[in-house]
Chains A and B, each alone.
Chain A
């Protein structure tokens, strides 16, 4: 459990770093230019690490199911939704909803065990915990916002070129 928490914290820290870096790229290019670069870099890095760690095993893909090949396109959906969401609502409001939705779907996924992941039975404490976290996100994002600093709150979201 502790190892899992630690890994998730590392993941979140790198998402934060990546967001800052990506937003720097995005300032000079567009969302799709940035997204293409970001995913291309991610692909190259993953391939190199895979070759180091797994060697030839990198290409042992006999267990591939057809949908695995297109799952990467979910990321494209993320970009479209976030760019539109931020454009229509502003970053503070949009990102608060995005994060709330992330948590709600996480809870749903655990309790349904869809896609053959191990099912984590719904328990009330998890639900309550998610509610408190969502409350925290809202207080943090809206309460922490000084007048006219909307832009300063923006670079918070993931892996893509979506920071406006």
Chain B
């Protein structure tokens, strides 16, 4: 039960984050909003890290440098998500976003790109993706 509550609140926070960014963007601009929210998030995470110290000291050195740059995608994610929310509302945006997210993750898993363990294609994968796309189509009617 506790796990369900955490997961539920986590999802709520993710949507809230998009909405808050969209709201802040109205007042100060989208790139500025992305800059400031990630700065305060970074500072807060850093503060927690100083208490928790969960990383091994030379852990980052073992990671391929390319992967260390993944965080910079956050700029693109925030900009495109905020602009989409402003154009068509939160529900359409989150729906399309989740579909693309699941689909690309699936593609990467199936192809084994970036050295991830290959996933076997199964029928429910196609049914699931088909249902998700159908859901967006239903919304438009």
Contacts and interface: CB of A to CB of B under 8 A. Distances in A.
Given A43-B35, A97-B8, A99-B11, A21 B69 contact: yes
Given A20-B114, A30-B52, A15 B101 contact: yes
Given A7-B84, A61-B32, A71-B40, A81 B9 contact: yes
Contacts of A17: 70, 73, 104
Contacts of B36: 61, 68-69, 72
Contacts of A68: 24, 27-28, 33, 36-37
Given A18-B74, A29-B54, A39-B42, A12 B96 contact: yes
A1 B105 contact: no
A46 B17 contact: no
A78 to B, nearest CB: 5
Interface of B: 2-4, 6-17, 19-24, 26-29, 31-46, 48-49, 52, 54-56, 59-60, 62-64, 66-81, 83-85, 87-106, 108-109, 114, 116-117, 119-120, 122-125, 127-141
